[in-house]
Amino acid sequence: MNTPSLAHAWFALLRRDVMLALRQRGQLANPLLFFVLVVALFPLGMNPDPALLRNIAPGVIWVGALLAAMLALESMFRSDFDDGALEQMLLTPYPLPLLVLAKVAAHWLVTGLPLLLVAPLLALLLNLEGEAMVILLASLALGTPLLSLIGAIGVALTVGLRRGGVLLSLLVLPLYVPVLIFAAGAVGNAQAGMAVTGQLAFLGALLALAVALAPLATAAALRISLD
């Protein structure tokens, strides 16, 4: 039997993961619903003054997105770990970091991208409008893949543990700090009419760095967890 080419295998894995996720609509909707609820709770928890809401909107939306992305992380390797597909993946002749990248990309397509789609709605709820909304979408587009990539390392480290949920958040949240700061900072700057290219460039640089390094760390962590 001859093995299919790397590109072929990569896209096959991506497609398989996306198809599998689409079959379980409930799991898909949960983080999204969580995102909407968290953001909707903030005006209820304080004075719904439009000016105040506009002030806190970048931070609130980004913290909500961060928590929703974290909530969705656990499912990244879970089912493959349970049914042994992950171990098979380790045995294939393809480089593991690239396969990890395919899985992370699939995970982002089904959990990160939807966050981007509902974000404009939430932005309207918090009186975030105009250019700031565009920058919010740009920051989410650059930031949520970062969250998935960094998160994958944490998931890979805790996948063998029965109760890894709380530990996962402890491992991953400190590493999310720069993403939160630059992304929310960019949106805040856009609201104030200041330049945002610096922050967005930084997010882009971080994304490039994470694409290059995070799959390596994730692959190493998976090998250790499945040892």
Partner 1 sequence: MWAWLHRQGSPKRFYNWSGTLARWAGWGSLLLGVAGLYYALFASPPDYQQGESVRIMYVHVPAAWLSMFIYMNIAAASLVSLVWRIKVADMFAAASAPIGAWFTFLALATGSLWGKPMWGTWWIWDARLTSELILLFLYLGYIGLLAAIEERETAARAAAVLALVGVVNIPIIHYSVEWWSTLHQGATVTKFDKPSIDWTMLRPLLLMAFSATLFYVAVALRLARTELLRRERESQWVRELIDGRQGGGRR
Among residue numbers 118 through 157, which ones bind partner 1 (CB under 8 A)?
153, 157
> Which CB sits closer to partner 1, 52 or 109?
52
Cα distance from N-terminal residue to C-terminal residue, the chain: 28
x/- track of binding to partner 1 for residues 47-76 (CB under 8 A) = ------------------------------
Least distance from C-beta 167 to partner 1, angstroms? 5
> Which CB sits closer to partner 1, 114 or 169?
169
Alpha carbon distance 40, 42 (integer Å): 6
Alpha carbon distance 105, 187 (integer Å): 25
H or E stretch covering 32? helix 25-45
Tokens at residue 170, please?
């402890």
> Which CB sits closer to partner 1, 108 or 176?
176
């390797």: which residue's tokens?
A: 77
Tokens at residue 129, please?
């409008």
Residue 221 makes contact with partner 1 by CB under 8 A = yes
x/- track of binding to partner 1 for residues 86-115 (CB under 8 A) = ------------------------------
Alpha carbon distance 137, 117 (integer Å): 9
Rg of the chain in Å (alpha carbons): 18
Near partner 1 by CB under 8 A, which window of 9-17, 55-63, 65-73, 214-222? 214-222
E strand map for 124-194:
none
> Which CB sits closer to partner 1, 36 or 150?
150
Residues 6+ apart with CB under 8 A from 119: 61, 65, 136, 137, 140
x/- track of binding to partner 1 for residues 156-185 (CB under 8 A) = -xx-xx--x--x--xx-xxx-xx--xx--x
Residues that bind partner 1 (CB under 8 A): 153, 157-158, 160-161, 164, 167, 170-171, 173-175, 177-178, 181-182, 185, 206, 213, 217, 220-221, 224-225, 227
